[in-house]
């Protein structure tokens, strides 16, 4: 999650051919890729899809550090090793599905600024939902800054130590409590500034016509 701001930086500052493509084209592409993940049920097909995605990743010159984000969902896939009764083919199938899904989405977000993504979504989804999605995504960045400060404070107060589990748990809970309260304060300030800028329940993006 810490790499989220790096992802955003790559989306805004990148100059590759994939960065220059319209957001709608990339979103349709990601949609097709997800359809492939849902319906492909054989290893060569998924391997082919993953190869194409890796090729796009390399040619779009997305920073390599972001690649680790595509591997993160594998943590959750490990349970399938036990569920399947150690069937290698099934495990590989699941791992490839996970990798194809995450790579296509990370590729989309690393080459498209998030307001552009939300602008396209706003045309097809209810404004209530898109506004909530936009504010949450924005709030993640605000909270990440607070989390960074809180981590320093937590470290100074002992952080997490296995030899003192209770004290560590209290420290972590206080850090989350602090994060929530800071977040609520920030949300109140954010609401005031949004109202000052004319917010009436729907976020409007640059170039969008007022149809109300």
Instruction: Tell me: does residue 161 bind other proteins (CB under 8 A).
Output: no
Q: Output 9 or 137, the one with its CB closest to other proteins.
A: 137
Under rule CB under 8 A, which residues in 168-197 are in contact with other proteins? Answer: 169-170, 172-174, 176-181, 183-184, 186-188, 190-191, 194
Instruction: Tell me: does residue 89 bind other proteins (CB under 8 A).
Output: yes
Q: Find tokens 């976020």 and name the residue.
A: 203
Q: How far apart are CA 167 and CA 162, in angstroms?
A: 10
Instruction: Tell me: does residue 21 bind other proteins (CB under 8 A).
Output: no
Minimum Å gap between C-beta 21 and other proteins is 19
Minimum Å gap between C-beta 148 and other proteins is 11
For other proteins, how many residues bind (rule: CB under 8 A)? 74
Closest listed residue to residue 23, CA positions, set 98, 120, 110, 162: 120
Closest listed residue to residue 134, CA positions, set 180, 199, 67: 199
Among 12, 25, 28, 38, binds other proteins (CB under 8 A): 38
3-state secondary structure 78-143: CHHHHHCCCCHHHHHHHHHHHHHHHHHHHHHHHHCCHHHHHHHHHHHCCHHHHHHHHHHHHHHHHH
Under rule CB under 8 A, which residues in 45-64 are in contact with other proteins? Answer: 45
Minimum Å gap between C-beta 163 and other proteins is 16
Minimum Å gap between C-beta 76 and other proteins is 4
The contacts of residue 6 (CB under 8 Å, 6+ apart) are 63, 65, 66
Instruction: Tell me: does residue 78 bind other proteins (CB under 8 A).
Output: yes
Minimum Å gap between C-beta 5 and other proteins is 13
Q: How far apart are CA 56 and CA 50, in angstroms?
A: 10
Q: Angle, to 10 degrees, between the axis of helix 114-124 and the axis of helix 88-111?
A: 100
Under rule CB under 8 A, which residues in 118-157 are in contact with other proteins? Answer: 128-129, 131-140, 142-144, 147
């Amino acid at each position: 999650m810490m790499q989220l701001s790096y992802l955003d930086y790559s989306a805004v500052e990148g100059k590759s051919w994939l960065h220059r493509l319209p957001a709608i084209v990339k979103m349709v592409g990601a949609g097709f890729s997800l359809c492939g993940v849902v319906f492909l049920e054989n290893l060569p097909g998924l391997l082919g899809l993953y190869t194409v995605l890796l090729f796009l990743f390399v040619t779009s010159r997305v920073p390599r550090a972001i690649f680790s984000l595509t591997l993160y969902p594998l943590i959750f896939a490990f349970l399938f090793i036990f569920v399947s009764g150690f069937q290698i083919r099934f495990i590989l199938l699941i791992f490839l599905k996970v990798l194809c899904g995450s790579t296509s989405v990370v590729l989309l977000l690393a080459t498209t600024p998030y307001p552009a993504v939300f602008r396209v979504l706003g045309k097809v989804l209810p404004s209530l939902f898109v506004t909530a999605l936009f504010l949450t995504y924005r709030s993640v960045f605000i909270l990440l800054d607070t989390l960074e400060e809180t981590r320093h404070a937590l470290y100074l107060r002992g952080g997490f130590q296995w030899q003192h589990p209770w004290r560590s748990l209290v420290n972590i809970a206080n850090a989350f409590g602090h994060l929530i309260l800071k977040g609520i304060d920030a949300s109140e300030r954010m609401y005031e500034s949004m109202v000052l800028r004319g917010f009436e329940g729907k976020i409007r993006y640059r170039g969008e016509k007022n149809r109300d």
